[in-house]
């Protein structure tokens, strides 16, 4: 065992299980049932120590890389936002027809944590910074949100819908998970 002292915050609630969360700034949150002992919580954290340290190391590497990410100028931002206003609705129309769904209004914004969302009424929101991603990744987010028009959840049925359109969606999803933070930083 690694036996390194890990500090964490405990949030208790009327839940039945424990969960562990590592915030982007490296803070560790343990969510636990109201009456669970401190000893049991500490044991839970110790059991997850290897996973925690691996993820803290990833955060540290990402923070070091952040210093080297170039920022967009105001002119570049405006140009890319205009481009996104043309490209993203085109991709939505293309894939909506392919999937066989309708949609409402499309809104583009700069969000800090999301790439897209689909409201129950069919309105779609996309982060305009997707225009900085490879086109395959942008298409993945569009398909993901449009598939919510059939399945408003992330069940196996939902992922089957995504996979029917993009058999390689996992690679595209992984690219976004591994590199999306760079796009967010660039757009700051």
Instruction: State the Cα–Cα distance between residues 78 and 108, nearest whole angstrom.
Output: 13
Structure tokens at 121: 């009424």
Q: How confident is the model at residue 66 (pLDDT cuts 50, 70, 90)?
A: low
The pLDDT of residue 109 is 92
Query: Is 163 in contact with 144 (CB distance < 8 Å)?
Result: no
Instruction: State the Cα–Cα distance between residues 130 and 158, nearest whole angstrom.
Output: 22
**Sequence-separated (6 or more) residues with CB below 8 Å from residue 72:** 80, 186, 187
CA 47 from centre of chain: 26
The pLDDT of residue 108 is 95
The pLDDT of residue 47 is 93
Q: What percent of the chain has pLDDT over 70?
A: 93
The pLDDT of residue 69 is 57
Q: State the CB neighbour count (10 A cutoff) for residue 41.
A: 17
Q: Please, what is the angle between helix 169-186 and helix 49-66, to 10°?
A: 50
The pLDDT of residue 178 is 87
Instruction: State the Cα–Cα distance between residues 53 and 4, nearest whole angstrom.
Output: 9
Mean predicted confidence (pLDDT) in 145-155: 96
> Where is average pLDDT lowest: 111-115, 143-147, 158-162?
111-115
Largest CA distance in the chain: 56
Domains and CATH numbers, the chain: 9-66 (no CATH), 74-186 (3.30.2010.10)
The pLDDT of residue 170 is 97
Torsion of CA 156, 159, 161, 163, to 10 degrees: -130
- Let me know if 117 is exposed, middle or buried by CB neighbors in 10 A (0-12, 13-18, 19+): middle
Q: How confident is the model at residue 1 (pLDDT cuts 50, 70, 90)?
A: very low
**pLDDT tens for each residue of 72-116:** 788 888 989 999 999 999 999 999 999 999 999 999 998 888 999
In this predicted structure, the answer to whether residue 188 has a pLDDT above a threshold of 90 is no
Q: What percent of the chain has pLDDT over 90?
A: 70
């Amino acid at each position: 065992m690694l036996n390194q002292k890990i500090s964490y915050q405990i949030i208790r609630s009327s839940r039945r299980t424990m969960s562990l969360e590592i915030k982007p700034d490296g803070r560790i949150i343990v969510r636990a049932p109201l009456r669970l002992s401190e000893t049991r919580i500490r044991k839970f954290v110790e059991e997850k120590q290897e996973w925690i340290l691996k993820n803290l190391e990833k955060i540290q590497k990402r923070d070091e890389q952040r210093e080297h990410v170039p920022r967009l100028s105001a002119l570049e931002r405006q140009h890319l936002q205009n481009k996104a206003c043309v490209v993203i609705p085109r991709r939505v129309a293309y894939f909506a027809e392919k999937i066989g769904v309708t949609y409402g209004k499309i809104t583009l914004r700069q969000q800090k944590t999301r790439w897209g969302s689909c409201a129950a009424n069919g309105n779609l929101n996309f982060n305009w910074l997707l225009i900085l991603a490879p086109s395959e990744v942008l298409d993945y987010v569009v398909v993901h949100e449009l598939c919510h028009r059939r399945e408003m959840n992330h069940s196996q049925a939902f992922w089957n819908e995504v996979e029917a359109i993009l058999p390689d969606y996992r690679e595209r999803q992984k690219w976004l998970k591994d590199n999306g933070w760079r796009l967010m930083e660039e757009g700051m």
